Structure 1
Amino acid sequence: MEQRLDIVIPCLNAAGTLPATLGALGGGTEVIVADGGSTDGTAGVADALGVRVIRTPRGRGPQLAAGAAAGEAPWLLFLHADTRPGPGWRDAVERHIDAPGNAERAGYFRLRFDSAAPVARRWERAVAWRSRVFGLPYGDQGLLIARPFYETLGGFRPLPLMEDVDLARRIGRRRLVPLGAEAITSAARYERDGWLLRPARNLACLSLYALGVPPRLIRRLYG
């Protein structure tokens, strides 16, 4: 996959989770860490692990956009710093890139939480249903997209949150397809906030966004 793929990871105080994500990626691919002003040494960790680091304005939307703009490869894979691709991810990405017709389709991974709790499996199935029926994979599922298609769509907008939903809506449900691999994401926020409260909060944010409430206001309401 050399020369064909840039991997963009937005970071903010992610020194604790970034090494596992970078370790899962392995070598042979350009990785761009877009740091939004971390104070925990995230940039130093990334630099020590041999990946490219750029400093960007804080906010996941601006960080993703800046990371994409810093690369040149014809395909982009966006990942969160606490999400690592599971076994077989390279083969899944290559199949998507090589398949005819995918120049204007985006791919996403199957979500899996790094938790043994039975409730985690239930939410994984709910996420798969949401992604399939509504065409709304979230950022912790990753996003694989051809750079020309990404640029035609206008890329990630400088939103403080909901940047993943905003881009998914512009891609469209019929042009979003599952990749044959998992994205293993941290369950820490769900275990901290509660397996019911955290999804309820996310659904409230999504509902307000769908009603036209500006993301900056949603962020003030929910932090």
Structure 2
Amino acid sequence: MLSVIIPALNAERHLPSTLTALVPAAVDGIIREVIIVDGGSADRTRSVADHAGADFLVTAPGRGSQLAEGAARAKFPWLLFLHADTVLQDGWEREAADFMHRVDVGEQPRSAAAFRFRLDDNGLAPRTLEAIVRVRCAALRLPYGDQGLLISRRLYDEVGGYNALPIMEDVDIVRRLGRSRMTLLNANATTSAERYRREGYLARTLRNQTCLALYSAGLPIAKIQRLYGVAHASR
């Protein structure tokens, strides 16, 4: 019923935990395939994927194009897009199954879903950022890619899927979906806080919000990349 698509680049440290969290849903028959779309890793990402029994594709780096390639290869009617450093927490599969059922029977048609944002760090800074994300999601219905995206193949194709963008691919597809179609599930998606710890919570948050503002104002993606040196897997 569900294909999981994970873009990866040098993800050997985080990918095992991400894949382990998917096991209960695979045992229950909810997940039928996991596709790792690699952008040219120089570490053991492929070995991790092979050990887990995941399908492994190699493409040019660029998260938007990696996600699109994974979706093109997926065989099942539901798609779950997940970052390689994001771990879905206990109970996520029940939340996802209930949501898919509501869509399939017409109770919540033409909708997509994301999970609650959580960071794997302690202290005031990560909790404050999580609160900011909750407000953003409640007010704007604008989850980012590190919250996952659960969407039917039919709706994914209807909105045109992921565009081959190196950054902002998550914002781009959610905006094409529209606020009224986004549902926030109660289960947490816990993502790595490594980049926030390295760059500083305030600096990274301001950089991300500036990029979002420039993108919303219509500045070309290539120019945003040049201004801020944002790599394809930076957010």
- For Structure 1 versus Structure 2, the TM-score category normalised by the shorter chain is over 0.9
Residue type matched to 1:55 in 2? V
TM-score normalised over the length of structure 2: 0.91
1:44 is displaced (CA, Å) by: 2.1
What's 1:5 paired with? 2
What's 2:68 paired with? 65
Q: Which has the larger displacement, 43-52 or 17-26?
A: 43-52
Residue type matched to 1:124 in 2? E
Query: What is the rounded CA distance, in whole Å, between the counterparts of 2:107 and 2:69 in structure 1?
Result: 27
What's 2:232 paired with? none
- 8 Å CA contact 1:109, 1:142 repeated in 2: yes
Query: What is the rounded CA distance, in whole Å, between the counterparts of 1:144 and 1:34 in structure 2?
Result: 17
1:202 is displaced (CA, Å) by: 0.1
What's 2:208 paired with? 202
What 5-or-longer segments of structure 1 have no aligned partner? none
What's 1:39 paired with? 42
Query: What is the rounded CA distance, in whole Å, between the counterparts of 1:48 and 1:7 in structure 2?
Result: 16
Residue type matched to 2:119 in 1? F
Residue type matched to 2:130 in 1? E
Query: What is the rounded CA distance, in whole Å, between the counterparts of 2:116 and 2:137 in structure 1?
Result: 9
What's 1:172 paired with? 178
- 8 Å CA contact 1:62, 1:156 repeated in 2: yes
Query: What is the rounded CA distance, in whole Å, between the counterparts of 1:205 and 1:129 in structure 2?
Result: 19
Q: Which of these residues, 2, 11, 15, is aligned with residue 14 of structure 1? A: 11
Q: RMSD of the TM alignment (CA)?
A: 1.0
Query: What is the rounded CA distance, in whole Å, between the counterparts of 1:156 and 1:177 in structure 2?
Result: 18
- 8 Å CA contact 1:31, 1:52 repeated in 2: yes
Residue type matched to 2:14 in 1? T
Equivalent runs, 1:46-85 vs 2, <5 Å: 46-85=49-88
Residue type matched to 1:179 in 2? L
1:131 is displaced (CA, Å) by: 1.2
Query: What is the rounded CA distance, in whole Å, between the counterparts of 1:43 and 1:102 in structure 2?
Result: 37
TM-score normalised over the length of structure 1: 0.96
Query: What is the rounded CA distance, in whole Å, between the counterparts of 1:118 and 1:178 in structure 2?
Result: 24
Query: What is the rounded CA distance, in whole Å, between the counterparts of 1:161 and 1:23 in structure 2?
Result: 27
What's 2:111 paired with? 105
In structure 2, the residue corresponding to 1:190 is in which secondary structure?
helix
- 8 Å CA contact 1:13, 1:42 repeated in 2: yes
Q: Which of these residues, 183, 191, 209, is aligned with residue 185 of structure 1? A: 191
- 8 Å CA contact 1:75, 1:146 repeated in 2: yes
Q: Which has the larger displacement, 212-221 or 136-145?
A: 212-221
Q: Which has the larger displacement, 127-136 or 8-17?
A: 127-136
Q: How many residues align?
A: 220
Q: Which has the larger displacement, 36-45 or 170-179?
A: 36-45
1:102 is displaced (CA, Å) by: 3.4
Query: What is the rounded CA distance, in whole Å, between the counterparts of 1:219 and 1:154 in structure 2?
Result: 24
